[in-house]
Amino acid sequence: MKRTVLITGGSRGIGRQMAIDFGNAGYNVIINYNKSEKEAMSLVNELNGREIACQAIRADVSDGEQVKRMAKEIAFGHVDTLINNAGIAHIGLLQNDSEEDFDRVIGVDLKGVWLTTRAFLPAMIQNGFGRIINISSFWAERGSSTETAYTAAKAGVNGLTKALSREVGEYVTVNAIVAGLIATDMNDPVPPDALFRIVDNTPVRRIGTPEDVSHAALFLAEEKSSFINGALLHVDGGY
């Protein structure tokens, strides 16, 4: 049976790579985006051109009404693999951050996972099959100074993953990929010396690629991965 994957934040970075790799693996692909319409449409055209069924839906994952609308707009019946990937970073010292800064990061990176999962989980349970893969960060466990809200949001995602895996594991597996530093636009503000320090502390001696994360997501999505539930799969080169 042809499976359908929904990748939130699928227009750029890691999400874009997952859209390509899941499409190549035979999935129908739905990409969600918020602002990057041009990138989303270009990806849809690229995949459709390769005979991969692909749809793009605009929705801000931090907004419950927009997420509900997204669930009504999906083109391929139902979603059986949900990848909660949409995320934003914010760099600043806690004492300089505003309440709005905190709410925005928690809204997208944590509440967005909760809202999107709530919208797509019932159909998975009804169909007796589902895969939920949350994209978390190594900072969730180590803490990133100047990223308190981001760290807290990702630690929340790890907790949500573990809790939900106990609620629905009979039908739907819920896992998180705890990604190390990955080469995407998100890291544009990271200064070169900080990148160097991370590579220096990474036994495989490089930063990660979107392909590294995508590879792990494909593995967790497999039907044969049904005994992997509530896992935090580290894709960080051993940092």
Interaction site with ligand NAP (CB under 6 A): 8-9, 11-15, 32-36, 60-62, 85-88, 108, 135, 137, 179, 181-182, 184-187
Question: Is 150 marked active-site?
Answer: yes
Look up residue 192 and give its two tokens: 């070169």
* Least separation in angstroms between CB 205 and ligand NAP: 17
φ, ψ for residue 122, nearest 5 deg = -55, -40
The residue annotated as part of the active site, out of 27, 33, 150, 239, is 150
Nearer to ligand NAP, 14 or 172 (CB): 14
Q: How far is the CB of 24 from ligand NAP (least distance, A)?
A: 18
Give 170 or 188: the residue with its C-beta nearer to ligand NAP.
Answer: 188
User: Looking at beta carbons only, is 18 or 164 nearer to ligand NAP?
Assistant: 18
Whose Cβ is closer to ligand NAP: residue 72's or residue 95's?
72
Structure tokens belonging to residue 222: 């497999």
Minimum distance of ligand NAP from residue 59's CB (angstroms): 6
Alpha carbon distance 60, 158 (integer Å):
21
Q: Which residues are CB-contacts of 215 (< 8 A; sequence separation ≥ 6)?
A: 21
Helix (H) or strand (E) holding 130: strand 130-137
Q: Give the Cα separation of 32 and 79 in Å (integer).
A: 13
Q: Specify the residue, 133 or 182, whose C-beta has the smaller distance to ligand NAP.
A: 182
b/e map 46-61, b = 16+ CB within 10 Å? ebeeeebbbbbbbbbb
Contacts of 158 (CB under 8 A, 6+ apart): 136, 140, 141, 176, 178, 232
Q: In angstroms, rounded to a whole number, what is the distance separating the alpha carbons of residues 76 and 110?
A: 26
CB of 97 to ligand NAP, least distance (A): 17
Nearest-angstrom CA–CA distance, 114 and 98: 23
Smallest distance, ligand NAP to C-beta of residue 170, A: 27
Residues marked active site are found at 150
